Amino acid sequence: MSKDDLRDRIWDHLETEGIARFPFPPHGRIPNFADASDAADRLADTNAWQAADTLKCNPDAPQLPVRRQALRDGKTIYMAVPRLSEAKPFLRLAPDEIDDIDDATTVSGSSKHGVPVDPEAMPQIDLIVAGSVAVDEAGHRVGKGEGFSDLEFAVLRGFDRVAADTTVATTVHDSQVVDDGDIDPDRHDVPLDLVVTPTRAVEINAVANRPDGLYWDDLAAEKIEEIPVLQRLQPE
């Protein structure tokens, strides 16, 4: 099955079974799901979470409880601006700089409360939380199809802000965990170390399969032109 077919299968299932939550429809996005806050609570119980001071987190609805928990736990969050389109392509959400955590952790509120930062000004990232459409217990992940989660990881690798062994986690509904073999990863896909659902946490040792950084042959010239930070990293 292709990645597109798998996405459609998961989106359809979440919708028809009443698992999807606002925003609707789940199609074409990282889908929000019932009991996402329970998955966030379970993530917060993991050793990886408790050891982390800085997170890179996606802005999507199912990870809203994760972002709020992070700030309440005193962790600093870095979120990418849409499509990495700005010269300073990340926003810093620091608990000591924010008065309204609930607003600051929404998509619209992050741009209002977040401080734009250059990757060179960021600290080492301790934990990455990615949004997912489908995952398996081998650590393979399918996003919504635009590739920005993997690109953000590669950019931060290029600036030495994430390491080969930085933990990468996701929160999903149990029905988004598919059989091993359903996902055929590409070489730029970043595998997961931790899959957390409302009912369980699956730890995976995926470091050996992690990309080293950017694969320039996989990037269209138009994308490089649209993303200033890629131009800075591009080899001569």
142-150 long-range contacts (CB < 8 A, ≥24 apart) are 142/3, 142/6, 142/7, 142/183, 143/30, 144/7, 144/28, 144/29, 144/30, 145/3, 145/4, 145/7, 147/188, 148/80, 148/83, 148/84, 149/58, 149/190, 150/188, 150/189, 150/190, 150/211
Produce one character per residue of 72-109: b if its CB has 16 or more CB atoms within 10 Å, e if not. Answer: eeebbbbbbbeebebebbbbbbbeeebeebeebbbeeb
Q: Is the pLDDT of residue 1 over 90?
A: no
pLDDT at res. 15: 98
Q: What are the backbone dihedrals phi and psi of residue 117, each rounded to the nearest 5 degrees, phi first?
A: -135, 150
How many percent of the chain have pLDDT more than 90? Answer: 93
Strands, DSSP E only, in the chain?
Answer: 54-57, 76-80, 90-93, 115-117, 127-130, 134-136, 141-142, 167-171, 177-178, 194-196, 201-203
> Is residue 91 scored above 90 in pLDDT?
yes
Q: Report the Cα 218 to chain-centroid distance in Å.
A: 20
Pairing of strands 127-130, 167-171: parallel
Cα(140)–Cα(124) distance, integer angstroms: 24
What backbone torsions phi and psi does residue 58 show, to the nearest 5 degrees?
-75, 160
- Residue 136 carries which side chain, given as an amino acid letter? D
- How many percent of the chain have pLDDT more than 70? 100
Half-sphere exposure of 13 (CA within 13 A, CB side): 14
Look up tokens 């920005």; give the residue.
148
At 96-142, the pLDDT tens digits run 999 999 999 999 999 999 999 999 999 999 999 999 999 999 999 99
The reported pTM is: 0.96
CB of 150 within 8 A of CB of 188? Answer: yes
Please write the tens of the pLDDT for every residue from 173-231.
999 999 999 999 999 999 999 999 999 999 998 777 788 889 999 999 999 999 999 99
